[in-house]
Amino acid sequence: MNKLRKILYPLSILYGEITDMRNKAYDKNILPSSTFDLPVIAVGNLSTGGTGKTPQVEYLIHLLKDDYKVAVLSRGYKRKSKGFQIADKKSTAVQIGDEPLQYYRKFKNIIVAVDTDRVNGINQLQNLETPPELILLDDAFQHRKVKAGLNVLLTTYEKLYVDDSVLPSGDLREKISGASRAEIIIVTKCKEQLSEQEQFKISQKLEPELNQTVFFSEIVYEDKIKSKNNEIKFDELHNFEVILVTGIARPEPLIDYLNDHKIKYKHLKFADHHNFTKNEIDKIEREFSKISNNKKIILTTEKDFVRTFEDINNNVYYIPILTKFISNEKDFNKIIINYVQQNSRNS
51-74 pLDDT tens trace: 999 999 999 999 999 999 999 999
Tell me: do 209 and 236 sit in the same domain. Answer: no
CA distances from 252 to 2, 234, 333 (A): 19, 18, 29
In the chain, the percentage of residues whose pLDDT exceeds 90 is 82
Same-domain status, 61 and 169: yes
Instruction: Give yes or no: residues 203 and 243 share one domain.
Output: no
pLDDT score of 194: 95
pLDDT band at 298 (very low <50, low <70, confident <90, very high): very high
Distances (CA, A) of 171 to 18, 47, 48, 182: 16, 5, 6, 19
Identify whether residues 47 and 185 lie together within a single domain. Answer: yes
> Structural domain tally of the chain?
2
- In this structure, the answer to whether residues 305 and 338 fall within a common structural domain is no
Instruction: Give Cβ neighbours of residue 312 (< 8 Å, ≥ 6 apart).
Output: 281
Determine which helix (DSSP H) or strand (DSSP E) holds 232, and give its type and residue range.
strand 231-233
Q: Which of 25-29, 77-81, 321-325 has the lowest mean pLDDT?
A: 77-81
- Residue 272, pLDDT score: 84
- Residue 7: pLDDT band (50, 70, 90) is confident
A 10 A CB-CB count for 98 gives 27
- Is 281:289 a contact under the CB 8 Å cutoff? no
Could you list the residue range(s) of the whole structural domain that residue 150 is in?
Answer: 3-68+133-220+324-343
Same domain, 159 and 179: yes
Lowest mean pLDDT among 57-71, 175-189, 215-229, 304-318: 304-318
DSSP 36-58: -SS-EEEEEESBSS-S-HHHHHH
Query: Same structural domain for residues 264 and 202?
Result: no
The answer to whether the peptide bond before residue 39 is cis (omega within 30 degrees of 0) is: no
By the 8 A CB rule, do 83 and 115 touch?
yes
The pLDDT tens digits of the residues spanning 216-246 come to 999 999 999 999 889 999 999 989 999 999 9
Q: Are residues 8 and 22 in the same domain?
A: yes
Q: Which residues of 81-97 are buried (b: 16+ CB within 10 A; e: fewer)?
A: eeebbbbeeebbbebbb
Side chain identity at 322, as an amino acid letter? L
- How far is it, in rounded angstroms, from Cα 242 to Cα 223? 17
CATH number, domain at 40? 3.40.50
Residue 144 burial (CB count, 10 A): 20
**What's the pTM?**
0.93
In a domain, 110, yes or no: no
Confidence of residue 313 (pLDDT cuts 50, 70, 90): low
Task: Enter the DSSP assignment of 321.
Answer: E
Residue 347 pLDDT greater than 60, yes or no: no
Query: pLDDT by residue (tens digit) across 128-170?
Result: 999 999 999 999 999 999 999 999 999 999 999 999 999 999 9
Give the CA angle between residues 64, 69, 74 to the nearest 5°: 85
Are the beta carbons of 194 and 326 closer than 8 angstroms? yes
Residues 214 and 255 in one domain: no
Same domain for 204 and 275, yes or no, is: no
152 and 32 both lie in a single domain: yes
